[in-house]
């Protein structure tokens, strides 16, 4: 169908706002339909600007996708940075981080889905982005600090690898969003329902703490 006949767009004349508008819509579109599945036409129609502007600002569909990916990682790391975990006891800090991750990922399915999309594309774009690698390297520092403090006070096993810890946390939280549709359909669970989320979140916290702590350390918690 013709593109004409739609309500005329007000001209913004505000480059930064135009950029953000496009990015916002693009995140939704790529998250919903994937990289190949997303349609520039559809995307542009939801924007306050025109298709031409997408090319003006981002060069190509892939350029836009990369910008979306970077922005998505930037946001989660920024949010994570506000947690202030250093002042909590190690296991409390760990539990808080798990809860934050679980909640953030469930509240930001678009982020998860864009990461899935990137993996479907074999991480081709992330490999080119120095930005994203830098952003995420800090994530591990937080966990390393928790582990070190925990080992010193005897509440974390000495042989815990922070990257393993991060991987397990990510895996358990990520899955709840990433496989929501297949797993939910197969087992008849609504994995996005609030009560189910609250329940499952504590299972994840418990799983992580039990793994990180030595035999007797959790007597009061789990």
Q: Contact at 8 Å (CB) between 113 and 32?
A: yes
Instruction: Write down the least CB distance from residue 76 to DNA, Å.
Output: 26
Select from 57-65, 142-150, 185-193, 201-209 the region that touches DNA (CB under 7 A). 57-65
- Short-list 116, 156, 164, 159, CA closest to 140: 164
Regarding 128 and contact with DNA (CB under 7 A), the answer is: no
Regarding 61 and contact with DNA (CB under 7 A), the answer is: yes
Four-residue CA torsion sign, 217, 166, 152, 81: negative
Q: Which is nearer to a second copy, 87 or 184 (CB)?
A: 184
Four-residue CA torsion sign, 27, 33, 36, 39: negative
Select from 1-9, 44-52, 88-96, 97-105 the region that touches a second copy (CB under 8 A). 1-9
Compute the chain's Rg from CA coordinates.
Answer: 21
The binder of a second copy chosen from 14, 15, 17, 83 (CB under 8 A): 15
Regarding 14 and contact with DNA (CB under 7 A), the answer is: yes
Regarding 74 and contact with DNA (CB under 7 A), the answer is: no
The interface partner of residue 152, options being DNA, a second copy, none and the CB cut-off 5 to 8 Å by kind, is none
Q: Which is nearer to DNA, 54 or 76 (CB)?
A: 54
Q: Contact at 8 Å (CB) between 165 and 143?
A: yes
DSSP, collapsed to helix, strand or coil, labels residue 59 as coil
The interface partner of residue 153, options being DNA, a second copy, none and the CB cut-off 5 to 8 Å by kind, is none
Select from 32-40, 126-134, 144-152, 164-172 the region that touches DNA (CB under 7 A). 32-40
Regarding 45 and contact with a second copy (CB under 8 A), the answer is: no
CA-angle at 162, arms to 172 and 116, nearest 5° = 40
Q: Which is nearer to DNA, 47 or 178 (CB)?
A: 47
CA-angle at 178, arms to 172 and 181, nearest 5° = 120
């Amino acid at each position: 169908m013709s593109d004409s006949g739609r309500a005329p767009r007000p001209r913004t004349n505000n480059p930064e706002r135009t950029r953000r508008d496009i990015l916002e819509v693009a995140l939704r579109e790529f998250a919903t339909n994937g990289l190949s599945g997303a349609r520039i036409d559809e995307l542009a129609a939801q924007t306050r600007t025109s298709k031409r502007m997408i090319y003006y600002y981002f060069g190509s569909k892939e350029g836009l996708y990369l910008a979306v990916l970077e922005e998505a990682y930037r946001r989660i790391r920024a949010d994570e940075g506000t947690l202030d975990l250093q002042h909590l006891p190690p296991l409390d800090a760990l539990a808080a981080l798990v809860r934050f991750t679980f909640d953030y990922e469930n509240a930001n399915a678009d982020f998860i889905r864009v990461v899935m999309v990137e993996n479907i594309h074999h991480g081709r774009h992330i490999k080119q982005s120095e930005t994203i690698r830098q952003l995420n390297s800090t994530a591990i520092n937080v966990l390393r600090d928790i582990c070190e403090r925990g080992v010193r006070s005897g509440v974390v096993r000495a042989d815990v690898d922070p990257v393993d810890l991060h991987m397990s946390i990510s895996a358990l939280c990520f899955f709840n969003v990433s496989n929501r549709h297949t797993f939910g359909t197969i087992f008849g669970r609504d994995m996005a329902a609030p009560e189910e989320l609250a329940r499952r979140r504590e299972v994840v916290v418990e799983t992580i703490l039990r793994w990180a702590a030595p035999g007797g350390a959790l007597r009061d918690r789990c």
